[in-house]
Structure 1
Amino acid sequence: MNADLPDPLRIDFHLLDRQIVDLDGRLVGKADDLEFGVSEDGRPFVAAILVGHHALGTRIGGVLGRWMAAVARRLHTTGDPRPLRIPFDRVAEVGSAIRLDVRHELLDTPALELWLRDKVIGRIPGATDAGQ
């Protein structure tokens, strides 16, 4: 991975709740949660960034988190409302936004996220400038 990452990388400050933009600067979503792995020598590492209301609800927990996850399940157009999973090796840069080395069309964006991006977030003035 040739990513431009802060050293040390703090998940609470550098990753969680940051806007994610693709190779062209288009908004992909927000880093709602992270998936971790463990290396052969036993050290944890960030394996993927998770995007979606279900991931955020799970991260928040409690009554509000369960409500968010339930709404995501209810509004989801197909079976399982899995979050968008972006492998961490697709991260090119971590700054004011998380910039990916891939275009958003190549990501498997959940239907609910696409609807919210197009019908809600995309109508907010300045929302399309998130990566600039």
Structure 2
Amino acid sequence: MVSLTERDGYDVGLHLLDRQVVTSDGRLAGKVDDIELLRGEDGTLTPTALLTGLPALLPRFDLSVRALPRVIDLDLIEDVDSEVRLTVPGPDPSSPMEPARATDPRRLRVSRVLGLPVRCAVVPRRSKVLDLRMLGSPCGPGEHRVTALIVGPGRPGALFGYDRRSEPGPAAVAAVVRRLHRHARVVDLDDAVELDLDAGEVRIGPGASLRPLRG
């Protein structure tokens, strides 16, 4: 897989979620069970940390848990390919999440956005959020934020990266995946897109920028 340092952007579900975390001295430090986002007053979504442990994983399967996940700051990522490699040694580069951080209304988890139903007149019914597209790379300098949503019929993760020509894989499989997801769209996050977590849906209004997946 091409290193994310060579990319102009990345998809958080595809390139980070469920990846093995490895410290700088080669120790396994769990998996990326979720990703924390910080929601700005203007609606921007900025990735801030990797979340690990059962308290991060179980809510993805609608299982409630009182314990809090452990946190690995995004700044500790050195590189991402088939695994997430950190700049710090083991055995445990994570820290416990503080209760105040867990209850901060500005903070949310990527898993809370993935799978949200989408209300839009120009996308097929039963469309949902399949992934979140980020600016830059988690291991590169500069700004990091969610720039677009990938929406369409199906389930999160079903694209397997085959919407991107740079992703390796059998050509026949890529063709089938792209055919199945031919109705999927990339929706730029702007004023025409409303992420309503209380209502549990994404509303895409007139004037929104929708474009086909590259493939």
Q: Same fold (TM over 0.5)?
A: yes
**1:23-102 → structure 2 map (5 Å cutoff):** 23-38=24-39, 42-61=43-62, 65-66=63-64, 69=65, 81-102=67-88
Give the alignment partner of residue 93 of structure 2, picking from 107, 116, 121.
107
Secondary structure of 1:103 counterpart: coil
Distance 1:5 1:11 in 2: 16
Instruction: Provide the identity percentage.
Output: 39
Contact 1:36 1:44 in 2 (8 A): yes
- Deviation track 1:65-106 (CA, whole Å, cap 9, x = no partner) reads 23xx3xxx6xxxxxxx32110010111111100001111246
Secondary structure of 2:75 counterpart: helix
TM-score, length-scaled by structure 1: 0.60
**How far apart are residue 4 of structure 1 and its match?**
3.0
- The one-letter code matched in structure 1 to 2:32 is A
Is the strand fraction higher in 1 or 2?
2
1:15 alignment counterpart: 16
Distance 1:100 1:43 in 2: 26
Distance 1:52 1:5 in 2: 29
User: 1:41/1:6 Cα in 2 relative to 1: closer, same or farther (>3 Å)?
Assistant: farther
Greater RCO between the two (CA within 8 Å, min separation 6)?
1
Gaps spanning 5+ residues in structure 1: where?
Answer: 74-80, 111-132
Distance 2:6 2:80 in 1: 5
Secondary structure of 2:5 counterpart: coil
- The one-letter code matched in structure 1 to 2:69 is P
**Aligned residues between the structures:** 93
TM-score, length-scaled by structure 2: 0.38
User: 1:95/1:60 Cα in 2 relative to 1: closer, same or farther (>3 Å)?
Assistant: same
1:76 alignment counterpart: none
Contact 1:5 1:94 in 2 (8 A): no
- The one-letter code matched in structure 2 to 1:89 is D
Gaps spanning 5+ residues in structure 2: where?
Answer: 97-215
Distance 2:92 2:56 in 1: 20
